[in-house]
Amino acid sequence: MRFSTKKKDKKRAKPVPIEETDQQPTEEDQEAAAALMAALVGGEEDGLRSMLMYGDVNEERSAEMIVGLISLSEQKLKEGQERLDDMKIYISTYGGSADDMMAIYDIMRLAKQKCDIETIGIGKVMSAGTLILAAGTKGKRKIAKNCRVMIHAVSAGSVGAIHNLENELEEIQAIQEAYIRCLVDETDLTKRQLKKLLDQKVNVYLTAEEAVEYGLADEVI
């Protein structure tokens, strides 16, 4: 099952040919690349605990996120600490798989038992991405002022015998109910308000300020 957003087809520019070279990366280049990677995924020594959720919410991306969440939440406490240092998750996505969204969400819930999670929406936070943004620790969910937010109902495409289609419909409805339940837990919206939003049968776009008003985030930055 997917949360999906339709994007207009765009003409692709012709790729620019890359000249072959025998030049190997210098030690300085390798150190710079390592520093960039540490800034993105976090490191225990310098206290960086950041991740990037960028692109479609799919099996590959959710696996990367889950490994990062588990790894950072299982680090040892420093002397005198009662909880681990905060994690940060930067989010920019058009959405994707409902199942993979739920996998990330459940691991975030477990990780929050050991540390706070700061979520930061940038660029676009749509469809499955809205729950990931809202799942951060309340009071620590931020959204950039130019970030676009979109929420809509679960969608899927199926073919086959009528009994299979009926079964698929029941499953879609169950996923929709679970999605609503999770958003009610994480936001200021009631179940009735969410159902009214999702029953519009259109993509509901929100500004950063409206996302805060609905309780998907706490602060515009």
In a domain, 21, yes or no: no
Task: Mark 99-122 as b/e (b = at least 16 C-beta within 10 Å).
Answer: ebbbbbbebbeebbeebbbbbbbb
- Catalytic annotation present for 62: no
In a domain, 164, yes or no: yes
Query: Higher confidence at residue 128 or residue 8?
Result: 128
Catalytic residue among 50, 62, 127, 158: 127
Catalytic residue among 50, 152, 155, 163: 152
How confident is the prediction for the chain on average, in pLDDT? 78
Burial degree of 138 (CB within 10 A; 0-12, 13-18, 19+): middle
- Catalytic annotation present for 73: no
The residue range of the domain holding 206 is 48-73+85-220
Q: How confident is the model at residue 196, as a pLDDT?
A: 83
In a domain, 27, yes or no: no
Residue 197 phi, psi dihedral angles, 5° rounding:
-65, -50
pLDDT of 210 higher than 70: yes
The CATH number for 213's domain is 3.90.226.10
How many domains, the chain? 1
Instruction: Give the tens place of pLDDT for each residue, 175-194.
Output: 888 888 999 999 988 888 88
In a domain, 101, yes or no: yes
